[in-house]
Structure 1
Amino acid sequence: MTPKGEEIKRAADGGPRLSRLDERITGALVGAAVGDALGGPVEGYSPDQIMERHSGRVTGVVGPWNGAAWRTARPLAPYHKGDGHVTDDTLMTHALVRVYDQVRDHLDAYAVADHLVPDLMTNPRWIPELEAEALPLHRIFLAEKWLVARLAYGHADPREAGVGNIVNCGAAMYMAPVGLVNAARPEAAYAEALDIAGAHQSSYGREAAGVFAAAVAAAVTPGATPGSVVAACLELAKDGTRKAIDAVCEVAARHGDFESALVPLREAVAPYDTVGPDYRNPSLAARRPSRLHAVEELPVALGMLLVSGGDYRAAVLGSVNYGRDCDSIATMAGALAGALGSPVPEEWSKTVAEASRLDLWEPGRVLTEVAREVYERDVRRRRSHERAFAELGGSGCSD
């Protein structure tokens, strides 16, 4: 079994811990965006390929894998990944923050249909990887375009629209806001994210969305550690997702640096990953529904959080140099380390903000206001229920 609590706690050496809600929420969202931008240019490659391309491990912001040929080297994905540009992970995360800003309450699958999809389809924004203003719909990838096809054109029931989509981390990658609105309530974050993600994913892709949101909620809990975050995930996760997290984190607890952990973490998650050893040439079983499997990204992100002891720089660089879907892995690890309070290096956040032409801090300010409003609503709803239950003769407050 995976060690839990203090048994897998590591001492972080990345600077002072933050404590206020706004700092934790902002740290998580900025941390996710910076991790995304650092991982983007090496996404899809192996640790050995990354080391050969960059003459060593990636230690910060780097340029496109194919240099000036980024527009034509991969016709299916003609995106400027690198130079501090965020990818669709961040575009979708910020889009979900905007939905919370509109609704000012908990979300469900209908909020995706009523607010998120129209935003993707009708509001042009600066898209860093396209170096142009465009609809976010033109940048999001196939698994996210599914949202538009199923909800805007197919008129599917939002709660079931995710069925039939490829099963990947597409929903999980932008669920950090759900965990932040449900700060310190992992079980509530899990349930809300599962409802939201029903519009986008099914099977272990949907499960990963719920567990990642729970991990973020656990990370902003006072006194949280990487070990307590993993423990919260193991309490909630189901089927292959739980087994994959357990296997990866058991291995991660034996390592104190990402270099030694790169191969062991991949070996630990491989039995649960459907993509196979060649990320760019997926197996026939790739991304199909299953109760036995899991997305690779979330367990590895949690593993890197343990290996790093919660230190932001180490967690993100470990995720980036792991390769494969490393922009999403680094997005998740960055969100979790930031939520724990480990500072995001200023030289990275400033570079990413300027290169991507984004205010990385504004979403944090917005979501903090929403989180406080939602908390106040929850308190009123809970007290109303307590009074009603007391009047029915149950135990509880009657005043």
Structure 2
Amino acid sequence: MTLTDPETDPEPATGTRHADPDLTDPGPTDPDLSARIAGALAGAAVGDALGGPVEGWTPEQIAERHGGRVRGVVGPWHGDDWRTARPIAPYHKGDGHVTDDTLMTHALIRVYGKVRDHLDAYAVAEHLVPELITNPVWIPELEAEALPLQRIFLAEKWLVARLHYGHVDPREAGTGNIVNCGAAMYMAPVGLVNAANPRGAYAEALDMAGAHQSSYGREAAGVFAAAVAAACRPGATAESVVDACLGLAKDGTRTAIEAVCEVAARHDDFESALGPLRTAVAPYDTVGPDYRAPSLGARRPSRLHAIEELPIALGMVLVASGDCRQAVLGAVNYGRDCDSIATMAGALAGALGSPVPEEWTDTVRTASRLDLHGPATTLTEVTYEIAARDRERHRARDEEFAHLTRTTPATNAPTDPR
């Protein structure tokens, strides 16, 4: 599925397409950088909180449990028995509580706030891992202040085991981890600091994700970051975001996105799309039909497969024509790993400029004791700083290249050798 040709709009290798405060002010229908960053982070948080309590179930089970489709914040699936119903995950999912998707996203923003430049796998080892094992934060699902390590799940605990205790090369530490959406789910900040530069976001996320994931899990992290960056482009649409992804994605990830989005383009409401989107992604998903009883081949490296979450999130944004409310609700009612799907869908819709419903943000902010303003402000400031550094780096390289080729830096036109 290609609605436009991504190759007709090539991007520079550096970050010269970053938002610039000196550019003409955006119009009322074209949100500026700070609004897109705030919207993406708020959309991700509410998607996470709405999806958490119905994660792991099917659309039919969700509808039966809640007397119809979920339309907002709901309580825990097992009610007051949430502490004992699932001993492996005794978390208070529901009631507006964010999960590890948001905890990891905000931890990554804190890393950007420290480094204030592009990140790589070594930054994950040197800064993100200490965030997980050193600094206590309020964890809504535990109803307590604790280290993030005490809430993140097995694929994320891998970071601590491999990097802090195993001292593995950060660029290779992700090899051997289960292949899932663990790295992709918190890569929205990478897309935002590379706003309007999908190729740069893709490269940065792939580098970082090497510390966490391999195979199509790592690829999904790069493509999701690219999608968020593409959503920040002035005039971006759900279709243009999908096209940017198809221009960068490789192997099974690309094929899965194409298959899902071809189906999504035929629907304009999530209710009719729930079954067809699952059917479209099933050949690429290794988990299998029963999410709580994964197949023997689940989450193993492959060039033919993809995580389920990213293609479905893109499909739901496409079905919703970029509308945040509808994209998030579609992702939530899809079930399965719907907190991560809705996190991605909410981030993309928010970056596109769709308003995030205030009743959701107010509930999540209060219930999770979550600051949605501070992280957005920090990331906006850092994004401007990175953009300025990118311009200087590009300018210096342009001058050096001009000297080597005897061209004029402003035009790169050859000078007269005489």
Give the TM-score taking structure 1 as reference length: 0.96
Q: Rate the CA distance shift 1:194–1:68 in 2: closer, same or farther, 3 A.
A: same
Tell me the equivalent position of 2:131: 119
Q: Is the 8 A contact 1:42 1:50 kept in 2?
A: yes
- Per-residue Cα deviation, 1:257-276 (whole angstroms, up to 9, x for no partner): 00000000000000000000
Structural mapping, 1:51-66, within 5 Å? 51-66=63-78
Figure out how many residues of one structure are paired with residues of the other and give that number: 389
In structure 2, the CA distance between the partners of 1:68 and 1:179, relative to structure 1 (3 Å rule), is same
Task: Deviation per CA, 1:137-161: give whole Å up to 9, x if none.
Answer: 0000000000000000000000000
Structure 1 residue identity aligned to 2:357: P
Structure 1 Cα separation of the partners of residues 166 and 253 of structure 2:
30
Report if the CA contact (8 A) 1:17-1:342 is conserved.
Answer: no
1:220 alignment partner in structure 2: 232
Match of residue 209 from structure 1 = 221
Give the aligned residue type for 2:328: V
- Distance in 2, matches of 1:250 and 1:386, equals 41
In the aligned structure 1, how far is the partner of 2:123 from the partner of 2:94?
Answer: 32
Cα distance, 1:395 vs structure 2: 3.4
Selected match of 1:384 from 385, 388, 396 = 396
- Code of the aligned partner of 1:197: A
2:343 is aligned, of 331, 334, 359, to 331
Q: 1:4: which partner in 2?
A: 3
1:1-399 map, 5 Å = 2-5=1-4, 17-397=29-409
Contact 1:94/1:363 (8 A) holds in 2:
yes
**Quick one: which amino acid aligns to residue 258 of structure 1?**
F
- Tell me how large the CA RMSD over aligned residues is: 1.1
CA distance in 2, matches of 1:251, 1:311: 18
Structure-1 residue corresponding to 2:414: none
Paired residue secondary structure (1:72): helix
Q: SS where residue 247 of structure 2 aligns?
A: helix
Structure 1: runs of 5 or more not aligned? 7-15
Distance 1:106 1:365 in 2: 17
Report the residue type matching 2:175 in the other structure. V
CA–CA separation in structure 1 for the residues paired with 2:101 and 2:3: 29
Note closer, same or farther for the CA distance 1:305–1:394 as it changes in structure 2 (3 Å cut).
Answer: farther
* TM-aligned CA distance change 1:389 to 1:87, over 3 Å: same
* Aligned-partner residue type, residue 259 of structure 1: E
CA deviation vs aligned residue, 1:28-60 (integer Å, no higher than 9, x gap): 011100100000000000000000000000000
Q: Distance in 2 between the 1:183 and 1:123 partners?
A: 29
Larger-gyration structure (1/2)? 2
CA contact (8 A) 1:31 1:335 kept: yes
Which whole-Å CA distance do the structure 2 matches of 1:349 and 1:27 have between them? Answer: 10
Partner AA of 1:69 in structure 2? D
The question of whether the paired residues in 1 share the 8 Å contact of 2:30 and 2:235 is answered with no
Displacement after TM superposition at 1:396 (Å): 4.4
Q: For residues 351 and 386 of structure 1, do their structure 2 counterparts lie closer, same or farther at Cα, with a shift above 3 Å needed? A: same
In structure 2, relative to structure 1, the CA distance for the partners of 1:396 and 1:246 (3 Å cut) is farther
Distance 2:400 2:408 in 1: 9
Among all aligned residue pairs of Structure 1 and Structure 2, give the percentage whose two residues are the same amino acid: 77
CA–CA separation in structure 1 for the residues paired with 2:406 and 2:214 = 38
Partners in 2 of 1:186 and 1:275 — Cα distance?
29
> Could you tell me whether the CA contact under 8 Å between 1:18 and 1:24 is conserved in 2?
no
User: 1:286, 1:147 → 2: CA distance?
Assistant: 20
Once the two structures are TM-superposed, the CA of residue 18 in structure 1 deviates from its matched residue by 4.9
When residues 167 and 396 of structure 1 are mapped into structure 2, their CA distance, relative to the original with a 3 A threshold, is farther
- SS state of the match for residue 145, structure 2? strand
4+ residue stretches of structure 1 with deviation over 6 A? none
Assess if the C-alpha contact under 8 Å between 1:386 and 1:396 holds in 2.
no
Aligned AA (1:4):
L
Alignment partner, residue 13 of structure 1: none
Deviation at 1:315, TM superposition (A): 0.2
Question: Structure 2 unaligned runs (5+)?
Answer: 6-27, 412-418
Distance 1:122 1:357 in 2: 20
